Amino acid sequence: MRKTLLAAAIAVVGATIVVPAASAAPNTLSWGPCPAGAFPTPDLQCTTMKVPLDYGDPGGKAIDVAVSRLPSKNPAKRRGVLLTNPGGPGGGGLDYPQLLKYVKLPQDVLDAYDIVGFDPRGVAHSTPVTCDLTPEQIAVGNLPYAKGPADVVKQAQLAKAEAKQCADAKTGSMLPYVTTANTARDMDRIRAALGESTVSYLGASYGTYLGAVYTSLFPERSDRFVLDSSLGPGGYDIEAMRGFARGMEDRFPDFAKFAAAHPEYGLGRTSAQVTAKFYELATRLDRNPVEGITGSVFRGLTFEGLYSTDLAPLAADWQGLEQGRAPKPPAEPVTGVENLLASRFAVICGDSAWPRSIASYQLDVAIDRVRYPMLGAAGANIAACAYWAPPAEPRVRITGRGPANVLMVQNERDPGTPLSGARKLRAAFGDRARLITIDQGGHGAYLFGPNTCGNTLVTGFLVNGQRPGDTHCAAES
């Protein structure tokens, strides 16, 4: 995921598929400087390795996967490799080890592991995919908030065009193989190339599903697995997409309370007044957009702002829109957005199958507009996956088969991956997993959240293998 409703998701009953073992890569990695654009540091090393495009044809076409490493500097304490993924799908992870160090990954963890990142297949410095999306298509951004059945029909035409562009692009033949299952197989190739018999893992957001798929495909090669802010066992499917609306409703009261406690923003003096202001602004901006910010875009911007533990920037954006000013753009332009969206489509649409009937989306929109009025009619709207080719293989099934080596950590009020989905994943894993729930909001619990209880428990598991039982961490001021 991490951040927006930039694309769409899926739902189909799946099962693990048998493919040739993914561990055939030799230990031949040659480390050197990282490519331009990666987080600048003299410690982070990078390389590129070849993997099969199609694991059903391991001797066929190969693609590149870019890998990074932040080596342990304490050989006496080093116990192995910690593979990482920051989420997505569509986001790169080459600089993630250095980012984790920047946000104070404990020294004990840095000593215990070589921290390894990678750009997943289809992304950035790995062999990238494209959909030839135009600036206008990219600018649509979040799935539009559908006010009625006609808006779903309008969005369907845009979605159909995007799907055709993806299929017709120069990388269209790659799309069936840019999936979570194949990325997990790439991870096992990385493990083998590093000369490790097992690998530990730290994944956030969509990275939790990637980790769940890896440890389901390769349970015997999985060491200590931490899943932070989890999707449900179906991954980024239609349930997850519609779940964004529930997540926003879970998290928004925190913002309403914050804004009411800071009357200098002028958004209301009670939570009820702030909530009313949300609907007032959405309606006003639909009538009179501010520098392209419509009510639909405003809903998406609010959803994104709720990811952070710091709610002041979102309040400031609201204040500006109330006064007729659009939020300031990023200091530096975001690069690689077209590739992010294209690879995101590939994974979400390729993992499993979307409903194809426009009427089914119209019904979902009508239901979710009432059930979750803040965002429901956006999360339930139609997207490119409705016009995608059928998945190349069944979805990997997450079960309790394998070692009891999974620790999940989850904020109670996470807008992007609601607690309800994490609980379903916990249930699917059975005794393989334990779940830490933390009384805090925002997306990202370990390190990116301030709760000492949760952070300490996760660090203890990574360093010492001390896995707690299912635990609730109280709020900390």
Instruction: Note the residue count of the chain.
Output: 477
250 is catalytic: no
Which helix (H) or strand (E) covers residue 287, if one does? helix 271-287
- b/e for 77-101, b at 16 or more Cβ within 10 A? eebbbbbbbbbbbbbbbbbbbbebb
Question: Is the Cβ–Cβ distance between 196 and 80 less than 8 Å?
Answer: yes
Q: Is 469 exposed, middle or buried (0-12, 13-18, 19+ CB in 10 A)?
A: exposed
CA distance 222 to 232: 20
Beta-bridge partner residues of 134: none
125 is catalytic: no
Q: Is 318 exposed, middle or buried (0-12, 13-18, 19+ CB in 10 A)?
A: buried
Starting at the edge strand that comes first in sequence, how are the strands of the sheet with 62-70 ordered?
45-52, 62-70, 113-118, 80-85, 199-204, 222-228, 406-413, 433-441, 471-473
205 is catalytic: yes
Asked if the peptide bond before residue 89 counts as cis, ω within 30 degrees of 0, the response is yes
Sequence-distant (6+) residues with CB within 8 A of 90 are 6, 7, 123, 339, 340, 341, 342, 343, 344, 347
Token pair listed for 391: 């998945």
DSSP string for 394-436 = PPPPP-S-S-S-EEEEEEEE-SSS-HHHHHHHHHHHGGGEEEE
Selection from 48, 52, 67, 46 nearest residue 21 by Cα: 52
Q: Active site residue: 68, 126, 205, 296, which one?
A: 205
CA distance 230 to 249: 17
Selection from 382, 387, 353, 386 nearest residue 368 by Cα: 382
Question: Is the Cβ–Cβ distance between 179 and 346 less than 8 Å?
Answer: yes
Q: Active site residue: 126, 352, 364, 443, which one?
A: 443
Going from the C-alpha of 432 to that of each of 33, 403, 470, the distances in angstroms are: 38, 6, 12
Rounded to 5°, the CA angle 250-345-89 comes to: 55
CA distance 228 to 212: 11
Token pair listed for 1: 């995921």
Residues noted as catalytic: 205, 414, 443
